[in-house]
Copies of this chain bind each other. A is one copy, B any other.
Amino acid sequence: MSGDTKKIPVIFEGTGTSSGKMRNDIAVKWGSGSWDLPTDEGPFHGGDSTAPPPLAYFTSAFIGCIMTQLRAFSKRLDIPLANCKVSARIEWVAEQEDKQPYVSSPVSLTLDIELDTDAGLDDQKRLVDAAKKGCFIDQTLAIANQVGHRLKTDDGWIDV
């Protein structure tokens, strides 16, 4: 007998408008929640450092997402977890020929996980494994995604 399978959609939407030299005012919505999360750049890109750079948000998102799953699933799997600590190291490289725009690519992404728990190693591994599969960002990074880009023109939106 097959169990009950639920599909829960999770849809985030956001809009950014340029302001300042490199600052972007960005509003993000999910359901009834909304957050103002501006970005800026430092001297490298000629910004004013009035807000975190985009990749700082990315790093926090990755750490926070796996931590949410670890804590939520410890309850569901009945594996005790008093506290946890997660460190991320994300390395990219930007390659630039002469003064051309650079081309960037990821080099490595690692998460170091410390669980404050009385659970044995097998249960700890089981919890981490469930957290990886539940982590929206981990799962998204693990596959090649087709990102859609549309550009607004006088004749409407076109795919670019």
List chain A positions with a Cβ less than 8 A from chain B. 3-18, 22, 24, 26, 28, 30, 33, 35, 37-39, 41-42, 45-46, 49, 52-65, 67-69, 71-73, 76-77, 83-115, 121, 124-125, 128-153, 157, 160
Contacts of A137 in B (CB 8 A): 54-55, 58
Chain B residues with CB under 8 A of A17: 83-85
Interface pair B129/A7, CB less than 8 Å apart:
no
Going nearest first, the 10 A-B pairs with the smallest beta carbon separation are A39-B64, A54-B64, A37-B60, A58-B61, A110-B148, A57-B61, A54-B65, A57-B57, A16-B63, A101-B130
* This chain's copy number in the assembly: 2
From A77, which residue of chain B is reached at the shortest CB distance?
B101
Are A92 and B56 touching (Cβ within 8 A)?
no
Return the chain B residue nearest A106 by Cβ.
B140
